[in-house]
Amino acid sequence: SLIHFLSLFLYVMLGKDTTSFFYVLYPELPVSFVKNTVLSSLNGLGTLVENHLTIAVTIGTDMLELDCHITKDEQVVVSHDENLKRSTGVNVNISDLKYCELPPYLGKLDVTFQRACQCEGKDNRIPLLKEVFEAFPNTPINIDIKVNNNVLIKKVSELVKQYKREHITVWGNASYEIVEKCYKENSDIPILFSLQRVLLILGLFFTGLLPFVPIREQFFEIPMPSIILKLKEPDTVSRSQKFLIWLSDILLMRKALFDHLTARGIQVSFWNV
């Protein structure tokens, strides 16, 4: 094609950097299944108790984000924490109890991603992943596999297949090892970028090599560095920490990078408050 001919000409005449910029503008890869996503977490919404199943997608949510753990009797539950002390007041681990033994959530919970904020509600039961799938059959869901557990990964994969959600589900973790296991277990489910892969993508971007490297992940989800300032008391953040946050913002929040990934069919989302 004309684009391929021009890219080859630029590479020969002007070198790698110009060609890299050209491909940043014209990456020819498939389109993602979700665009311009409004992502809501089921792990600590400020208006509802954590993981409340009666959340309404009508508020404008395009994708739900949730964390999964596995109980002693191999039930997949939706919970941010493995240890339930913070959310239930009982110092026990999910993996040590059968599902029927799990304590209920506290009536009020501190919101994980917002300082000095609490949420409350009536439905205090820790939900099963399959209940979320049944409640939101057509809503894309982002699943964080919170622990490196082969049984958990296998069970989540089975549930995704059972409810025929491969095309509207993405899974993974910050851990490269967990993401690799997810991909090996079921390559039909799109995967997240691990922290290791995010750093690699940044390195490739700044060296101009990113356009030439194949990417199998389909979901680039990162925190906005400035969120840290909202989670801590201003007086507790040192100058060096503020500098690191500022530097991270400069390096990570790059429109050219996000535009390139989006054009390659990769969904880009941010954690924010």
Homologous superfamily (CATH) of 35-192 is Phosphatidylinositol (PI) phosphodiesterase (3.20.20.190)
The model's pTM: 0.76
What pLDDT is recorded for position 226?
A: 77
Q: Which residues contact 8 (CB under 8 A, 6 or more apart)?
A: none
161: its two tokens: 């297949």
φ, ψ for residue 267, nearest 5 deg: -75, 130
> Phi and psi at residue 221, in whole multiples of 5°?
-115, 120
Q: Give residue 124's pLDDT.
A: 79
Domain range annotation of the chain: 1-30+196-273, 35-192
Q: How much is the pLDDT for 32?
A: 40
What does the pLDDT read at residue 42? 56
Give CA separation, 197 vs 12, 80, 125, in Å: 30, 23, 35
User: Which residue, chain included where needed, has tokens 């989302």?
Assistant: 269
Residue 51: the pLDDT is: 44
- Written as tens digits, the pLDDT of the chain (273 aa) is 444 444 444 343 444 443 344 444 444 443 344 444 555 555 544 334 344 444 545 455 678 889 999 999 999 999 989 999 988 899 999 999 999 999 988 765 555 555 555 555 566 788 999 999 998 899 899 999 999 999 999 999 999 999 999 999 999 999 999 999 999 999 999 999 999 999 999 999 999 999 999 999 999 988 888 777 776 666 778 888 888 888 888 888 899 999 999 999 999 987 655
pLDDT score for 236: 79
Residue-level length of the chain: 273
Q: 167, exposed or middle or buried, with CB in 10 Å at 0-12, 13-18, 19+?
A: exposed
pLDDT in tens, 98-155: 999 999 887 655 555 555 555 555 667 889 999 999 988 998 999 999 999 999 999 9
Q: Determine how β-strand 219-223 pairs with β-strand 141-145.
A: unpaired
DSSP string, 193-244: PPHHHHHHHHHHHHHT-GGGS-----EEEEE-TTHHHHHS-GGGS-HHHHHH
CA dihedral 40, 43, 45, 47 (to 10 degrees): 130
- pLDDT score, position 49: 39
Q: What is the model's pLDDT at position 227?
A: 74
- Phi and psi (nearest 5°) for 2? -60, -40
Helix or strand run (H / E) with residue 23: helix 16-25
